[in-house]
């Protein structure tokens, strides 16, 4: 017998009578997709996202080896950090292994899933780092889970792994007639603010530049 949910029992009975197969998608203990649940990540790796209890003091493990793009099912995004970073936003991101987004970026941020890649662009300087989303983005139950000094300014949160961080940012030339950068084919707005999607071609160009800088 299936639980106490009458709807589930009726659906199952109907499936038996008609010979139809009842598809039940597997979920984790929190009712989310296995391997893509912020709650599962919280319990396994970081019980207290706000204070960082249980964190490795050295922060996320960094990997400067080659990054291979998946054939399908992977999204790419670009977001920005300030060069001076007075609120230590970027430092806290690395220490806590978390990335948060603001309201004007909610449309793209809501689409982040595990293994998506995020390009970090340092304002007025260039490509600074590449992150991998460890789980899907979610709206935290408690705003206090945002580890920054102004948690009320954020909406979505997701755990990250820093794949590579460059000592010196890789710049680009945005002074083009069509307003598309010469090197990475970015729009001006992509490198100014927000959290925006990238195309696979743009991500490939960025990874080529990272590989060259590492050699």
> Model confidence over 61-116: pLDDT tens digits?
333 447 889 888 899 999 999 988 877 899 999 999 999 998 888 889 999 999 99
Whether the CB-CB separation of 137 and 109 falls below 8 Å is answered with yes
Q: Is the pLDDT of residue 124 over 60?
A: yes
Residues 67 and 173: their CA atoms lie apart, in Å, by 24
Residue 38 forms part of a structural domain: yes
Domain count, the chain: 1
pLDDT band of 127, cuts 50, 70, 90: very high
Residues 115 and 135: their CA atoms lie apart, in Å, by 7
Please report the pLDDT score of residue 52 as a whole number.
40
Please report the pLDDT score of residue 20 as a whole number.
43
What SS3 class is residue 205? helix
pLDDT band of 193, cuts 50, 70, 90: confident
**Structural domain boundaries enclosing 201:** 29-214
Residues 80 and 5: their CA atoms lie apart, in Å, by 46
What SS3 class is residue 182? coil
Residue 36 forms part of a structural domain: yes
Residue 1 forms part of a structural domain: no
Residue 3 forms part of a structural domain: no
Please report the pLDDT score of residue 92 as a whole number.
92
Tell me the CA end-to-end span of the chain in Å, nearest whole number. 61
**Phi (first) and psi of residue 51, to 5 degrees:** -95, -20
Residue 100 forms part of a structural domain: yes
Residue 109 forms part of a structural domain: yes
CATH of the domain at 119: 3.10.590.10
Residue 19 forms part of a structural domain: no
DSSP 14-81: HHHHHT---------TTSS-TT--HHHHHHHH-SBTTTTBT--TT-SPP--S--PPPSSS--EEEEEE
pLDDT > 90 fraction of the chain, expressed in percent and rounded = 47
Which distant-in-sequence residues (6+ apart) come within 8 Å of 91 by Cβ?
Answer: 85
- Give me the sign of the Cα torsion angle 59, 54, 31, 108: negative
Residues 73 and 139: their CA atoms lie apart, in Å, by 22
Residue 82 forms part of a structural domain: yes
Residues 198 and 196: their CA atoms lie apart, in Å, by 7
pLDDT band of 39, cuts 50, 70, 90: low
For 60, the token pair is: 């996320």
């Amino acid at each position: 017998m299936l639980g106490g949910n009458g709807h589930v029992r009726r659906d199952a009975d109907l499936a038996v009578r008609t010979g139809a197969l009842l598809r039940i998608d597997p979920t984790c203990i929190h009712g989310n997709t296995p391997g893509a649940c912020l709650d599962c990540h919280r319990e396994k790796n970081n019980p207290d996202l706000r204070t960082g209890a249980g964190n490795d003091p050295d922060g996320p493990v960094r990997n400067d080896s080659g990054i291979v793009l998946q054939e399908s099912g992977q999204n790419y995004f670009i977001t920005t950090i300030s060069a001076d970073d007075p609120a230590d936003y970027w430092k806290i991101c690395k220490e806590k292994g978390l990335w948060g987004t603001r309201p004007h970026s909610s449309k793209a941020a809501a689409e982040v899933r595990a293994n998506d890649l995020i390009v970090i662009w340092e304002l007025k300087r260039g490509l600074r780092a590449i992150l991998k989303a460890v789980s899907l983005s979610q709206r935290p139950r408690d705003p206090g889970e945002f580890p920054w000094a102004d948690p009320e300014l954020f909406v979505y949160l997701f755990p990250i792994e820093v794949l590579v961080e460059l000592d010196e940012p890789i710049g680009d030339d945005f002074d083009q007639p069509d307003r598309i950068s010469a090197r990475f084919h970015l729009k001006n707005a992509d490198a100014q603010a927000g959290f925006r999607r990238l195309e696979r071609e743009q991500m490939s160009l960025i990874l080529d530049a990272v590989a060259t800088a590492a050699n």
